[in-house]
Chains A and B, each alone.
Chain A
Amino acid sequence: MTPVLAAEPLVRWDWVRDHTDDITAQLWEHLGLTAAAVGIGFAISMALALAAVRWRWAYEPLAAACSVLYAIPSLALFGVLVTIPFFGLGFRTALVALVSYTLLILLRNIVAGLDGVPAAAREAADGMGYERWRRVLRVDLPLATPAIVAGLRIATVTTVGLVTVTALVGEGGFGSLINDGLSRNFPTPIVVGTVLSVALAIALDVLFVVIERLLTPWARARVPSTAGTRADDALVRARGRAAGRWSALVGGRP
């Protein structure tokens, strides 16, 4: 690598103009990898979380296993996976790494959300004759939505960032731009890739906030005039508790 010439600007706009097709293609690759990783990670974590809530003793070992996965550096995981023919350099290796990093975040948040469901709501549902799984589906999970969405937001933003690293195994969306700039010592693609990756993370984060509002209409109805009714109070309290746990998680394990 040779030092950058002092005259080289951080962004060459003519390069950006000439490469809009390439940049758009990387956007779709970035989005596709993120969606696949968070989707698969969410399905696995939801199954693990439901098992952990049903069989309490399973939670600690599951969380420990997920935190070991979380601790393994992505580059180390790539290094091992590319030697296995089924994975190799490419999509599967990238996906396994990305999914494995979402598990801990999602598992913790889903379990925290389910734990935060007020006992009163649960007992009321039991009293109304809800069977166990129907209650989980109709009462527990909806009340846990804020914590679950909080987990999804963290997992998605983290994944968008990690996708850039998968450029090293030939995937990577905007990471490919960064990697290209790095290997040619050319700042423009690095800056473009970074800015777009951060913008994508923020856009998806905002998207989840909107989704959460749509999924929890009762939270929007939380205006002073409705605060008097008992049922509403219980829901507000449930949501507050879940939100409190969320902020704890944010502080704990970004």
Chain B
Amino acid sequence: MSDSLRQMWEYLSSDAAWSGRNGLPALTWAHVRISAVAVLIAAALAIPSGVVLGHVRRGALLAVSVVNIGRAVPSFAILALLLPFSLRYGFGLGFWPTIVALVLLAVPPIFTNTYTGVRDAPPDAVEAARGMGMRAGELVRKVELPVAVPLIVTGLRVSAVQVVATATLGALVGYRNLGTPIVSGFTSPNKGPMLAGALVVALMAVATDGLFALAERALVPWRRPVRRADDATVVAEEAAPAAVR
């Protein structure tokens, strides 16, 4: 261990760590970029479909199945399975198989949380909105979607953390990111780059988790200590599943 720590220190004090396409900044940027793109694509696919299905209150089985299947199919396996296809159809190594695997991984939590959040909007609030003459679009925009926001952000948080973690596996199919020094470090006598890469990616994952936790608080002010017990939003928050606590 102390040997490895010394090697990491030597690596961090060398130029190689800070410049070039194998330097930590380039690897970190590649990691952040592919993770952000994957989560954005997944959100663009999952949120609209979750809102629609949640609004019409159909597809409960789909919502549960999508999460269960997503959990049972290892992302490592998806990545490995995609590689032969990617090569066969000319998409090559690296970016394409990685991004497809990450999007597939990121969709289920966002979709299911959006669906659950919209579907479980408090019925009295929905009825009141209908009574006020709101049409479907307005009802979604003004009532169901705002009430679902905490759960949607939770879904994004779960997905983002998993995507940052799984993007490291992209190194195995040739996508150069923070996983690259880790994978090559298993067999290399110099453990410096591996340890440095591992620490940066661990910090990045924990920071992602923390950032989304802060976003949850900022977006959902009524989650903070409640004063008035008869506040309608409190009822809404209680109706939403207690996922984040």
Contacts and interface: CB of A to CB of B under 8 A. Distances in A.
A interacts with B? yes
A190 B80 contact: yes
Interface string B211-245: 00000000000000000000000000000011110
B185 interface: yes
A157 B71 CA distance: 7
B113 A251 contact: yes
Interface residues of B, number: 62
Contacts of A122: none
B206 A72 contact: yes
A198 to B, nearest CB: 5
A83 to B, nearest CB: 4
Nearest to B74: A161
B56 interface: no
Contact of B1 (A4, A84, A164): A84
A161 B71 contact: yes
**Which interface residue of B112, B205, B241 has the most chain A CB atoms within 10 A?**
B241
B209 A75 contact: no
Interface string B107-151: 011001100100000000000000000000000000000000001
Interface string A211-254: 00000000000000000000000000000000001011111111
A83 B68 contact: no
Contact of B74 (A79, A164, A169): A164
Contacts, number: 184
A223 B188 CA distance: 63
A167 B81 CA distance: 16
A165 B72 contact: no
A168 B241 contact: no
Nearest to B75: A161
A62 interface: no
**Which interface residue of A71, A154, A165, A197 has the most chain B CB atoms within 10 A?**
A71
B202 A182 contact: no
A161 B73 contact: yes
A70 B164 CA distance: 12
A118 to B, nearest CB: 17
Nearest to B73: A198
Nearest to A60: B245
A254 B67 contact: yes
Contact of B241 (A76, A187, A247): A247
Q: Contact size class for A?
A: 35 or more
Interface in B136-170: 151, 154-155, 158, 161, 164-166, 168-169
B4 A178 contact: no
Contacts of B199: 76, 80
A76 B84 contact: no
B164 A254 contact: no
A164 B64 contact: no
Contact of B182 (A76, A198, A201): A76
Nearest to A72: B202
B206 A68 contact: yes
Interface string A169-189: 100000100110110010100
Contact of B242 (A79, A85, A160, A248): A248
Contacts of B158: 252-254
A112 B244 CA distance: 12
B183 interface: yes
B5 to A, nearest CB: 8
Interface string A80-119: 1011110001000000000000000000000010000000
Nearest to A4: B84
A168 B186 contact: yes
Contacts of B81: 187, 190-191, 194
B208 interface: yes
Interface of B: 1, 4-5, 64, 67-68, 70-78, 80-81, 83-84, 87-88, 93, 108-109, 112-113, 116, 151, 154-155, 158, 161, 164-166, 168-169, 171-174, 179, 182-183, 185-186, 191, 194-195, 197-199, 201-202, 205-206, 208-209, 241-244
13 contacts: A1-B87, A1-B174, A72-B206, A76-B165, A82-B186, A82-B194, A161-B74, A194-B81, A198-B72, A201-B72, A251-B67, A252-B113, A252-B243
Given A70-B161, A160-B74, A161-B76, 11 more contacts: A4-B87, A75-B171, A75-B182, A80-B199, A168-B172, A194-B77, A201-B71, A252-B151, A252-B158, A252-B243, A253-B243
